[in-house]
Amino acid sequence: MSKVKEFIRSLLPRSVYRELLAPYHISWAFFSALAYGFPAGKIIVIGVTGTKGKSSVSEMLATILEEAGHAVAISSTIHFKIGEKVRPNLFKMTLPGRGFIQKFLHDAVQAKCTYAVIELTSEGALQYRHLFLSLDALIFTNLEKEHLETHGSMEKYFEAKFRLGHALEHSEKRPRAVVANSTSEYGKRFLVLSVEKQIPFSLNDATGVELSSEGVSFVYENTHVSLPHPGNFSVLNALAAIKTAQFLDISVATSAAALAKLVRIPGRAERIEMQQDFLAIVDYAHTPDSLQALYEAYPDKRKICVLGNTGGGRDTWKRPEMGRIADAACAEVILTNEDPYNEDPRKIVEQMAKGMSRAPRIIMDRREAIHTALSLAKKDDAVLITGKGTDPYIMLADGKKLPWSDARVVREELEKLAR
């Protein structure tokens, strides 16, 4: 069947192929919701969407809800969590299809969770996975240049995201809220949705912002907020979570207490500690904007940067741009393999190197690249390993995949260096 689908896909324009599959995807959404008794109507559902920050906002909001005494379910790129039960997301997709989310919500209701926080994507929306989610609120973080081979243009990318906004408008829940980044032109378009509450957020909401490689702190509504995650992007993510929590009648003081105790978010500026005298950071940054923001979060550090080919078969425009950003920000740049799929991985990193004014180190074995970066680090340096985050596999040609964890490999290589 998969070969037949691929043959048909090769004959048709992408948009036509999608339309042909629409009844299939809608049927899965409806009948799975029906089979599980439309569980979204029995739990408060908050959707989180955007190019960047979805996982961080989801984790922050879930932490705040738990601090307020609620049982929470979370479906994210990182993991699936229902109450105390957690399992990693090994699907290589944020929101799996074929009724996955309806079963997840059913299980959350059965576990007596009162809230579900769900990461939503444009790809999932194009496949109608957002239907029958009965959203109470939708958080929009940002929209950056990404997935253009899939969507065709930024406007079409936005239109796919905005399907989620329409789903919020059509939700039977009351009251409903949209929480959106008001510094984004796309966020402003979300803020005109016809729902009971339109809640903007921006850096202007925070005063006394203090940034360091250890984390951020700021004041919001006369309450001091601190969290152990660096960068202005962490301030924005925290504001999105805090303002959503306010809509859910949770005080800013409760949110501040939760964020102060926030444990590391896997693969999101995740610090790997093995008693070394330098920083070792694993992050998902896989777009130019997110890479720039991560590097800017460590302004006083000598940076040794490991980055990969940003995924084979898509978004080829950003390869030299990623190289250019790393070249400007990092003392040492090591280009390595990431997810080549059916492309030649060496050619991909060579395209990245074209954006650089100096020759990078090219080490195609990702473990060796990480080992080299760690071995080059001196006291107080920052080794920044980006592109994979919590991705569980390196995706190879012909559907083959290699089990992988950047965080695990960093720990193993730090242990070897310590010996």
CATH of the domain at 295: 3.90.190.20
- β-sheet bridge partners, residue 306: 334, 385
Among candidate residues 199, 225, 260, the one where a domain is terminated: 260
> Can you give the residue range of the structural domain that contains 225?
2-260
Amino acid sitting at position 389: G
Residue 43 phi, psi dihedral angles, 5° rounding: -150, 150
- Provide the CB-side half-sphere exposure for 278 (13 A, CA): 22
Same domain, 410 and 350: yes
**What's the total number of domains in the chain?**
2
Same domain, 131 and 50: yes
Same domain, 287 and 167: no
Among candidate residues 198, 229, 260, the one where a domain is terminated: 260
Q: Is residue 218 part of a domain?
A: yes
Q: Cβ contacts of residue 302 below 8 Å, gap of 6+?
A: 331, 378, 380, 381, 382
Same domain, 203 and 279: no
End-to-end CA distance of the chain: 51
DSSP H helices in 330-405: 345-353, 366-376
What secondary structure does DSSP assign to 334-346, as a single string?
EE-----TTS-HH
Tens digit of pLDDT per residue, the chain (419 long)? 556 656 666 666 766 666 777 999 999 999 999 999 999 999 999 999 999 999 999 999 999 999 999 999 999 999 999 999 999 999 989 999 999 999 999 999 999 999 999 999 999 999 999 999 999 999 999 998 876 667 779 999 999 999 999 999 999 999 999 999 999 999 999 999 999 999 999 999 999 999 999 999 999 999 999 999 999 999 999 999 999 999 999 999 999 999 999 988 999 999 999 999 999 999 999 999 999 999 999 999 999 999 998 788 888 999 999 999 999 999 999 999 999 999 999 999 999 999 999 999 999 999 999 999 999 999 999 999 999 999 999 999 999 999 999 999 999 999 999 98
Same domain, 69 and 137: yes
CA torsion sign for 224, 226, 231, 237 is: negative
